[in-house]
Amino acid sequence: MYAELVRRNPGEPEFHQAALEVLETLDPVLAVRRELADARILERVVEPERQIMFRVPWLDDKGKIHVNRGFRVEFNSALGPYKGGLRFHSSVNLGIVKFLGFEQIFKNALTGLNIGGGKGGSDFDPHGRSDAEVMRFCQSFMTELHRHLGEHTDVPAGDIGVGAREIGYLFGQYRRITNRWEAGVLTGKGLEWGGSLVRTEATGYGNVLFTAEMLKERGEDLDGRQVVVSGSGNVAIYTIEKAQALGANVLTCSDSGGYVVDEKGIDLDLLKQIKEVERGRISDYAERRGSSATYVPGGSVWDVPADVALPSATQNELDEEAARVLVGNGVKAVSEGANMPTTPGAVAVFREAGVAFGPGKAANAGGVATSALEMRQNSARESWTFERTEGELAAIMRNIHRTCFETAERYGRPGDYVVGANIAGFERVADAMLVQGLI
């Protein structure tokens, strides 16, 4: 089946990798549930329900015309409306959007909430563009995409390159075209017009909570642990914040230029000032932090010895060689804040060494879970407190961990969160597909 998938989807290595990672764990399910094989559930799951590609023309501030490509892959709606972010980055192509959308199916299923899986974006890069240029691009992008969206159909959110600014412009154009104040059509909105508290923090917070649950199963916790984090964007910043709140000493953060090691622990206020306010570089952090911080251009953040590693930057950033270094340095737990940041070879190294490994579809599901909570608030025309929303998030992450842990045990793979997450997510989607007929 994998060979057929590759043949039908040439030139999409990220999608191939994501699909294989799920497919190779499902044999135990198909062995005892022949009705899933007979209904060709697997063949249907790997084929998106709808793939949308479109032209996005826009004018820059000098009057020059640019043409980008837009994508939305609506992968599976058996559990609810398609749900998944929009990514604006020069690396975006159909294969990457399909990999992200495929992962989103099972991630969303694991939350226990009624949301399907989808993803989208464009090869437009907002970095270095003025607000006016970003607005014109977003308006052109939404002019085409709006016909495929709706709070009961497809609900995008933000992702890399799509923050509160972009969501605002996208929502404004949707409202202008449709003449509807449909707050639930996009999540990640500003707090003053339908957004949810904790959404900014949710992915990072959720990953740390999942990590804490994995350690708890082993009779350990995060208090006093040395932690390495990659990245310095939204996910990394709030991973650091929650890890520090639970008593961990976070030593590192990084960007595309290199990484910083801070022996005193990352100064979160300084990091936020540089990355969220000034939009500066990690090298600026080292210059202003003082003697405790060292900037390492290039290199690998995974060379830094630690008890816990939390990859929070981008896909395939932690390879087999880096995994062996981490294991050699005594790492006890690795959990994915980013989407598929660990290569298959690295995952195999962690499994062989008995390291607790949290796959992204489980560990970083806090972001989409809180997006679904935002949809719930929009539907009820109400706003929740930070404490209530964080409490809901914590409960969801504990439930995801328990589901993955118990599913892995039930299928004879105790402690294997990859198997547990894949099977639990797949079974929930498959059961919904079975009862809904051949569609």
Q: How long a stretch of residues is the chain? A: 439
Residue 56: CB atoms within 10 A of its CB come to: 22
Residue 336, helix vs strand vs coil = coil
Checking if the pLDDT of 315 tops 90, the result is no
Per-chain mean pLDDT for the chain:
96
Kind and range of the H or E run holding 418: helix 417-435
Strand partners, 76: 117
pLDDT in tens, 327-379: 999 999 999 999 889 999 999 999 999 999 999 999 999 999 999 999 999 99
pLDDT in tens, 216-268: 999 999 999 999 999 999 999 999 999 999 999 999 999 999 999 999 999 99
What is the pLDDT averaged over residues 129-153? Answer: 97
pLDDT in tens, 369-399: 999 999 999 999 999 999 999 999 999 999 9
Cα–chain-centroid distance for residue 60? 30
3-state helix, strand, coil in the chain (%, to 5): 50, 15, 35
Look at residues 336, 363, 281, 320 and name the one whose alpha carbon lies nearest to residue 110: 363
In the chain, the amino acid numbered 271 is L
Active site residue 98: no
| Cβ proximity of 123 and 91 under 8 Å | yes
Residue 78: CB atoms within 10 A of its CB come to: 23
- The CATH number for 202-363, chosen from 3.40.50.1980, 3.10.310.30, 3.40.50.720, 3.40.50.150, is 3.40.50.720
CATH superfamily, domain at 48-183: Leucine Dehydrogenase, chain A, domain 1 (3.40.50.10860)
Please report, rounded to a whole number, the percentage of residues in the chain having pLDDT higher than 90. 97
Please report, rounded to a whole number, the percentage of residues in the chain having pLDDT higher than 70. 100
* Per-residue buried b or exposed e for 171-206, using 16+ beta carbons within 10 Å of the residue's own CB: bebbbeeeeeebbbbbbbbeeeebbbbbbbbbbbbb
Phi first, then psi: give them for residue 246, nearest 5 degrees: -95, 10
In the chain, the amino acid numbered 196 is S
Which residue in 83, 98, 107, 119 is the catalytic one? Answer: 119
| Cβ proximity of 250 and 229 under 8 Å | yes
Residue 421: pLDDT band by 50, 70, 90 thresholds? Answer: very high
pTM for the full model?
Answer: 0.93
Residue 276: CB atoms within 10 A of its CB come to: 15
Distance between CA atoms of 399 and 278, rounded to whole angstroms?
38
Residue 52, helix vs strand vs coil = strand
> Domain locations in the chain?
1-45, 48-183, 202-363
